[in-house]
Structure 1
Amino acid sequence: MPRIAVTGGSGKLGRAVVRELVQHGYEVHNLDLAAPAEQLCPYTRVDLTDFGQVVGALTAVDDRYSGIDAVVHLAAIPAPGLRPDAATFTNNVTSSYHVFAAARTAGIRRIVWASSETLLGLPFDTPPPYLPVDEEYAARPETSYSLSKHLDEQMAAQFCRWDPEFTAVGLRFSNVMEPHDYAAFPGFDADPRQRIWNLWGYIDARDGAQAVRLALGYDRPGCEIFVIANADTVMSRRTADLAAEYFPDVPVTRELGEHETLLSIEKARRLLGYEPAFSWRSALQ
């Protein structure tokens, strides 16, 4: 099986991705500043803001490996507001450029990376153009964090233009959740505005990991972007009722399932074969 480098493999989504890939037989190497809480695969401490370290990590590390087949790039300051704006932007854009450029230097032609749902226009103070939202309208970054993710997508497209055999898959992950987070979900019903900022969406880390694995198998050269969310919302109320009450002037492009996500995953279903396997509803039964 291919040898995969996962940057940020010690993080919330990274842990799930490493576990998913290891369980499916991949040789996985975690490249991160932070050591993992659980040693699921070999770990190497790498500062992604140092280009030399990134090139070294993607070519060979002593007797551990020589050469990497594909990169999963998850490492980043993971949300707005955790660091000053310029620090978030500088860290995230620099790290992503280093990963893309080092992969090209190392002859790696396949990258899957974490983009973000924030490019859809979060927190939707300006309503979206239609519901469910999808990848078809222009990105609408509203923070320095989402602007960094927007530039990641632009960079990936240009790396693919430079090398017609390069495949870069950006996954616009929703708000990542682990099973222990679900205990708080019933409380969202008291005030839907608590979660309106991302249209009541979420992604179970295990389903996010599934999407990464499927994206590694995507065999079309070029840059492709996918929204990755769970199939349902965080709410008990019907999705159509939420849309009608909180976005009354926004067109709804099709009939909605009872609890269907408003972060459309139809493209990921169609092109990746992605189908979420987990839901907070079954976890709390």
Structure 2
Amino acid sequence: MRIAITGSNGKLGRAVVERLTRDGHEVVGFDRSGPAGSGFTLVDLLDYGQTLDAMLGVTARHDGVDALVHLAAIPVNGLVPDATTFHNNLTVSFNVMFAALRAGVRTIVAASSITAMGFPFDEPPPYLPVDEGFTAANNTYGLAKVLEEAMFAQLVRWQESTSITALRFTNVVGEDEYDSFALAGDPSYRRDLLGSYLDVRDGAELVALALTHARPGLETYVAAAPDSGLEIPSRELAATWCPGVELRRPLGEHESLVSSEKARRELGFEARHLWRHEYRGSRSE
């Protein structure tokens, strides 16, 4: 397939480009900055005209795409004013999705976020492990993600064959970013993430699986490692961070409080890069 990737020059975007290229796909990157070359086009995704034109074709690059991976966004609150984060991300997502549908693209994978399910969890979720069944926004980045998911649910109705898969990514950790896990014994570490994380290579794997298993309609999946990012037992973390919150099943010793079980069950997702091994490896180099 020929696959367009927005945000192709970001941390996750680069890993997705590498993974899909390795799988034999032709990849076309769209971003506001990046390396000149046959696999990349500079696009201002806030401009709908540019976005639609780039989706339809770019001379010397492509004449249309078969699928879309939408990762482009201001990645967190704080980089720009809060309202700017919201306006930018929601507008970009509308432009990209609407242009894709107008261009005849019917297979789409989009980055949603743990911020659409309560991050930073100052108000505990109603149950643990928290999963796709809970939606809440507590900042403008998360509010945009909640509204994007609502938009996706409507857009798939407009064309019966359209598939949109929204992946609720937690904190994505690069291969060279494991030193912070030296704090894994501190009960305040990753508190706002309920201890969750995901290796960037596993994130790219999940994107590839979502493309492979695409089916008409909207599906939402949590994108997190199956284990907690702390040394402290998960049952103890749940009692400390979310006292009185229902445990829907007995927790494994270091089971994640953010469940990716649906992705495992329906997409065959198995995270292969877990912090206990990666951190030891980074320290031994």
TM superposition score category, shorter chain reference: over 0.9
| SS of the residue 1:58 aligns to | helix
Q: For residues 232 and 82 of structure 2, what CA distance do their matches in structure 1 show?
A: 35
Does the CA contact (< 8 Å) of 1:188 and 1:234 recur in 2? yes
Q: Secondary structure at the match of 1:242?
A: helix
Identity of aligned residues (%): 49
**Which residue of structure 2 lines up, in the alignment, with residue 179 of structure 1?**
175
Q: Per-residue CA shift, 1:3-37, capped at 9, x if unaligned?
A: 0000001001111111110111110011001114x
Correspondences of 1:36-47 after superposition (within 5 Å): 36=35, 42-47=39-44
Tell me the CA shift for residue 123 of structure 1: 1.1
Paired with 1:246 and 1:144, the residues of 2 have a C-alpha distance of 23
The answer for unaligned runs of 5 or more in structure 1 is none
Contact 1:186–1:235 (Cα < 8 Å) also in 2? no
Aligned to 1:268: 263
Q: How many angstroms apart in 2 are the aligned matches of 1:155 and 1:184?
A: 36
Match of 1:148 in 2: 144
Q: Which residue is 1:207 aligned to?
A: 202
Residue pair 1:30, 1:41 contacting (<8 A) in 2 also: no
Q: Which runs of 4+ in 1 moved over 3 A?
A: none
Structure 1 match to 2:226: 231
How far has the Cα of 1:125 moved from its partner?
A: 1.1
Kept after mapping to 2: 8 A contact 1:124/1:198: yes
Q: Deviations over 1:101-153 (max 9, x none)?
A: 1011101111100000011111111111000000113x110111111111110
Match of 2:27 in 1: 28
Residues 159-198 of structure 1 aligned to structure 2 (within 5 Å):
159-189=155-185, 191-198=186-193
Residue 244 of structure 1 deviates from its aligned partner by 2.0
Q: Quick one: structure 1 residues 40 and 251, their matched pair in 2 at CA, closer, same or farther if it must change by over 3 Å? A: farther
- The 2-side partners of 1:269 and 1:19 are apart by 22
For 1:55 and 1:246, the matched residues in 2 are separated by: 45
Out of 242-251 and 117-126, give the one that drifted further.
Answer: 242-251
The counterpart of 1:83, out of the listed 80, 83, 97, is 80
Partner AA of 2:147 in structure 1: L
TM-score for both structures, normalised by structure 1: 0.95
Q: Which of the numbers 215, 218, 234 marks the counterpart of 1:220?
A: 215
Aligned residues: 280
Equivalent residues of 1:131, 1:252 under 8 A apart: yes
CA contact (8 A) 2:165 2:214 kept: no
Instruction: For 1:234 and 1:150, locate their aligned partners in 2 and report how far apart those are by CA, in whole Å.
Output: 25
Output aligned runs, 1:7-86, within 5 Å. Answer: 7-36=6-35, 42-86=39-83
Structure 2 CA distance for aligned equivalents of residues 245 and 92 of structure 1: 34
Provide the aligned C-alpha RMSD in A.
1.3
Corresponding residue to 1:100 among 97, 102, 122: 97
Q: CA deviation at 1:194?
A: 3.2
Gaps of 5+ in 2: 281-285
- SS across alignment from 2:110: strand
Contact 1:130–1:251 under 8 Å retained in 2? yes
**Structure 1 contact 96–152 (Cα < 8 Å) conserved:** yes
